[in-house]
Amino acid sequence: MIIDTIGNMERYAGAVPGLRKAMEVIASTDWQKIPEGQYRTDDPAVRYNVFSYTADAVFSEKAEYHRKEIDVQILISGKERMDLSPVCSSVEVTPYSEEKEAGFVRNEGIVSYAAAPGFFALFFPGEPHAPSLRLAEPDPVKKVVFKILA
């Protein structure tokens, strides 16, 4: 997992294939105007999804993990909490699905990150994370999640 400012994303581009393509998309997109949906880039290893929702859950019993893709989560507007669970003690709740490229383990929430615009959270394959949780009050959120083949 990496949490940093978008301005520092270049620091990690050499170690994370596809991150430069995500940076190009970030720099060339008006995120306030882009509609929700799934998008592809000219790099087959990089795609992204744009979501809008209200971060209103206080806790999630499940944390999501992936086996093949890196998640790069960026809030365009709003605030939310993301819980992170340890890989070593995770108890599977929903078995991994090849089709969905996701599985779920019990969220043990040993670390929480207060996500806000201007920052990104990068989750490597196998790192359980539970995003979309509220901080103090429910908050409307617009978010982009890049999916990068590892």
Q: Does pLDDT of 26 surpass 80? A: yes
φ/ψ (deg, to 5) at 19: -65, -35
Provide the b/e sequence for 8-20 (b: ≥16 CB within 10 Å). ebeebeeebebbb
The model's pTM: 0.95
Q: Which helix (H) or strand (E) holds 20?
A: helix 19-28
Let me know if domain 2-149 sits in CATH 1.10.10.10: no
pLDDT band at 12 (very low <50, low <70, confident <90, very high): very high
Helix (H/G/I), strand (E/B), else coil: 42: coil
Determine the average pLDDT of the residues in 135-144: 96
Could you report the per-residue pLDDT of 36-87, keeping only the tens digit for each? 999 999 999 999 999 999 999 999 999 999 999 999 999 999 999 999 998 8
Domain extent listing, the chain:
2-149
Q: Enumerate residues 6+ apart whose C-beta is below 8 A from 80.
A: 55, 115, 131, 132, 133, 134, 135, 139, 141, 143
* HSE, side-chain direction, 13 A CA sphere, residue 16: 24
Q: What is the mean pLDDT of the chain?
A: 96
